[in-house]
Amino acid sequence: MRRDLPLLDHPELTLIECPAWLEYRVDNPRFLPDGPNGSEATVAFFWLDAFVPLVIATLWPLPSRSPGTLACLFVLLAIYLYARCTQVLWESVVILPSLGLQLETHRGPPRIPLFVSRRFIPLSTLQDFIINEGLHGWDVRYYLAAIQQSRTGAVSLEVAYENLLPRFPVLLEVYYAVHEKLLNNGSNTDVHDEYHE
């Protein structure tokens, strides 16, 4: 297995290459050690994690007088734990040549993935892999989408990196790789030319 940073300007993109598959992983920039506020954000989370038990220990004598305070304390703790355990750590597009694509989202506290959601798109149902643009408020965002057609003829879009929405150069790199490995049977010169003209 080989790890590589294909775009030096975008350290959030990592290429993990094995003989059987390629994974294009986009890390959450908040948790990158050399990313924007990466190490400060991670240290801030650990300070917050240390502060929460201190607050609970301070407030613990109060619930003995009021069961409502105890319930409120447990609800706040549950909300805090839910927020910590469901944040997106990284998202991946895994290219499985001759099989299809797998879109993954990993969630959990920093550096500890607890939950993984995977969506597999077989090559037989993959119609195209596109870069599309959408409006978000007053902002235009680019995103990758796999066009999938079921056996009944229903067409659906599966969005890659839907939570992190990386920048256009990252999307373009993944777009080229998917077209090269899956859709163009190794000849992607026409794919590169259509964006560079």
Instruction: Note whether 50 and 80 are within 8 A (CB).
Output: no
Domain covering 2-28+87-196 assigned CATH 2.30.29 in the classification: yes
Per residue of the chain (197 residues), what is the pLDDT tens digit? 888 888 889 999 999 999 999 999 999 988 876 655 445 555 556 677 778 778 777 777 766 667 777 788 788 888 888 988 899 999 999 999 999 999 999 999 878 899 999 999 999 999 999 999 999 889 999 999 999 998 899 999 999 999 999 999 999 999 999 999 998 754 444 545 555 44
Q: What is the pLDDT of residue 30?
A: 83
What pairs with residue 167 in β-bridges?
none
- Sorted by where each begins, the domain ranges of the chain are 2-28+87-196, 38-85
CB within 8 Å of 100: residues ≥ 6 apart: 120, 121, 122, 123, 124, 125, 126, 182
Sort strands 115-122 and 13-17 into parallel, antiparallel or unpaired: unpaired
Structure tokens at 145: 């989408």
Q: What is the pLDDT of residues 51-107, one digit of tens each?
A: 877 877 777 776 666 777 778 878 888 888 898 889 999 999 999 999 999 999 999
- pTM of the predicted structure, to 2 decimals: 0.80
